[in-house]
Chain A
Amino acid sequence: MALLEIEDLHVSFKTVDGVVHAVEGVSLSLDARKTLGVVGESGSGKSVTAQTILGLTRFPNATISGRILFDGHDLLTMSTEHLRDVRGARIAMIFQDPLSSLHPFFKVGHQIVEAIRAHEDVPRDLARKRTIEALSSVGIPSPEERFNSFPHEMSGGMRQRVMIAMALAMRPDILIADEPTTALDVTVQAQVLELIQALRDDFGTAVILITHDLGVVAQMADDVAVMYAGRVLEQTTRETLFTEPEHPYTWGLLQSIPRLDAPRTGRLNPIAGSPPSLINVPRGCTFHPRCPYAPPPAFETEPALTPSQPGHLVRCHLPIEERKRLWQSLQNEHPALR
């Protein structure tokens, strides 16, 4: 049985401009000790999905439905008071911008101590000792001194390490990492990704990795979901996603990034147009206005997320053979996709 099961999640927010349909029928499952990558651009609903798991989107203007099963309980219907026992202790989360995610007026050590003492009735000095151990385990040099640092006195990479130390101080079952390296330099990104991998291997923590970077997914994930306009468009193993992707949006993403691992090309092949408004989502397939291959049904009805082979789900009206043929010809055209 899966460790975490998201079933038919819908999240929408009432705003002055209209209702924003941020997540529309997302189902995902995460197995113990696995890493699930969720890829998408801004507005795809990937962050809202992640935050909803911990009830962080319970705003007065939010409407949430579906089920999120964890350990036999539905996290969506759980009271905020009960959810508190899950937050931080069993499911921990780190965010994109570690500077704004840490409180500017409290010492980083105190912020971790606070997280420990929110769940366990341990004396202050013991919590302090565990905090220093946690800081040291994420590779922060001289953790006793760093305990007393304020966030603004640290580098971006150090701050993200503090966030990871805070998340892992309670040895959670699941770590949700929401764009954890987007704000970091590439060499620091490599350090942080390596750290997350090491912690996953050492403690058996399952990871949900939210990112826009296909390279990060390729390095880290076991399974991948590609999201667009609040929906999952394609979901499969990492291997399959990069060798036999079947959704035109996934192809588009793969083609639009310049590659280091292939010869230089003249022009990139961007996806035309821009992401849809989440207030007036296009009818039919949400991707059809930008899709060069959209068949007539895509203009009218939204395709279901259906298996094209075991473990490979695709939300597309194109026949399977047609998709395989198109991907073949794309690969012939663009050697980098091979």
Chain B
Amino acid sequence: MGAYIVRRTLWAILLLLVVSFLTFVIFNVFPSADPAALRAGRNATPALIEQIRRNLGLSKPFYTQYWIYLKGLLEHFNLGYSYYNTESVKSEIFSRLPATISVTVGGFVAWMLIGIPVGIISAIKPRSLLDRIMMGGSLVAISAPVYFLGLVSLFLFAQGTGVLQWAGAAGSYVPITQNPGTWFNSLILAWLTLAAAFAAFYARMTRGNLIEVMHEDYIRTARAKGLRESVVITKHGLRAALTPIVTMAGMDIGLLLGGAILTEIVFNIPGIGRYAYDAIVNADLPAIQGTVLFGAFFIVFANLVVDILYAFLDPRVTYG
């Protein structure tokens, strides 16, 4: 088991190195992304560009540049400085981290709390009216894009514009440390919007898995030995049906981060997604590069956690 965790971790580190290398190549080496030219702004003289080139160390060989970049990254988590306002990308990202964590963690919780129970209820009485309604609704949720759902929900529920005024603070994010109540109120719509498609997809998946598992021989054994049907479903059925879903969820967290960018824009939440969006609009390369790397780090980390968790959940996995 120990060796398995170490090997998985080493793989994750290797993967991050590859990602950092690729982003470096994409943002620094391709001619369309010459940092000096970008930094110099429009109508810059060749002398100015050359000057910037020297200041940024861009005249050094490519591998030396990468090494300096990597060293800064590893030693100080240095992601460079924004071209747009010369702020440290690192401190910009960290200052926006609480908002993004609020959006994604809340979105993840809503995703699981809605998706899995809906799937279970549907699976217990397949093809019942309730099942059909929930599965039909899930199709709608899967098909609707985040920005569409977000705008519709803002239109319906938010203060001012909202028809129902249900989530009054939506659109005006407040940190949890300031006022937990308003924080919750300001984010609830964002969470539901972000979670909708994921929850719908996971409801369908949970339903499918559970229905399949309930036909397994060991479920028959559980019934034959006289267990209560509720125990058969919640213990024997769910244990097997949810295990693969845990793995899927770990991999889908990356998609959730993608959805968080759109959600932060629609609901005007000052998080990393919003920052990335602004960076793209302003062609602010260090900021784009920093947010990409940061996102990659979280996805790789989530996958690592899931791999290790899965080995605990399914005793048949050999840690070889």
A and B touch in the complex (CB under 8 A): yes
CB distance from B166 to the nearest CB of A (A): 39
Which of A87, A92, A103, A119 gathers most chain B CB within 10 Å?
A103
Q: Encode A48-85 as 1/0 by CB contact (under 8 A) with B.
A: 00010010100000000000000000000000100011
Nearest chain-A residue to B219 (Cβ)? A103
A100 beta carbon closer than 8 Å to chain B: yes
A19 beta carbon closer than 8 Å to chain B: no
Q: B228 near A105 (CB under 8 angstroms)?
A: no
Q: A100 near B218 (CB under 8 angstroms)?
A: yes
Query: Which residues of A lie under 8 Å from residue B228 when comparing CB positions?
Result: 84, 118
Bound CA–CA A118/B229 (angstroms): 11
Q: A101 near B315 (CB under 8 angstroms)?
A: no
Q: Encode A148-163 as 1/0 by CB contact (under 8 A) with B.
A: 0010100000000001
Query: Which residues of A lie under 8 Å from residue B220 when comparing CB positions?
Result: 51, 56, 95, 101
A166 beta carbon closer than 8 Å to chain B: yes
The count of residues in chain B whose C-beta lies closer than 8 Å to any C-beta of chain A is 22
Besides A88-B226, A95-B220, A106-B236, 4 other A-B contacts (C-beta < 8 A): A56-B220, A86-B226, A95-B221, A104-B315
Q: B227 near A56 (CB under 8 angstroms)?
A: no
Q: A104 near B221 (CB under 8 angstroms)?
A: no
CB distance from B218 to the nearest CB of A (A): 4
Residues A102 and B218 in contact in the complex (CB < 8 Å), given A80-B229, A150-B315, A152-B316: yes
Query: Which residues of A lie under 8 Å from residue B314 when comparing CB positions?
Result: 104-105
A93 beta carbon closer than 8 Å to chain B: yes
User: How big is the A interface, by class?
Assistant: 20 to 34
Bound CA–CA A101/B236 (angstroms): 12
Secondary structure at the B interface, as helix, strand, loop or mixed, is helix
B293 beta carbon closer than 8 Å to chain A: no
Nearest chain-B residue to A112 (Cβ)? B225
Bound CA–CA A166/B223 (angstroms): 13
Query: Which residues of B lie under 8 Å from residue A89 when comparing CB positions?
Result: 226
Bound CA–CA A166/B217 (angstroms): 15
Bound CA–CA A95/B216 (angstroms): 12
Q: A87 near B218 (CB under 8 angstroms)?
A: no
Bound CA–CA A115/B227 (angstroms): 7
Q: A104 near B316 (CB under 8 angstroms)?
A: yes
Q: Encode A105-132 as 1/0 by CB contact (under 8 A) with B.
A: 1100000001100110000000000000
Bound CA–CA A197/B217 (angstroms): 25
CB distance from B318 to the nearest CB of A (A): 10
A97 beta carbon closer than 8 Å to chain B: yes
Query: Which residues of B lie under 8 Å from residue A97 when comparing CB positions?
Result: 217
Residues A100 and B224 in contact in the complex (CB < 8 Å), given A105-B240, A105-B243, A105-B315: no
CB distance from B132 to the nearest CB of A (A): 15
Name the contact of B225 in the complex, choosing from A100, A105, A150, A166 (C-beta under 8 A): A166
Q: B224 near A56 (CB under 8 angstroms)?
A: yes
Q: B225 near A103 (CB under 8 angstroms)?
A: no
B313 beta carbon closer than 8 Å to chain A: yes
Q: Encode B223-264 as 1/0 by CB contact (under 8 A) with A.
A: 111111101000010011001000000000000000000000
B222 beta carbon closer than 8 Å to chain A: yes
CB distance from A4 to the nearest CB of B (A): 16
Q: A105 near B239 (CB under 8 angstroms)?
A: yes
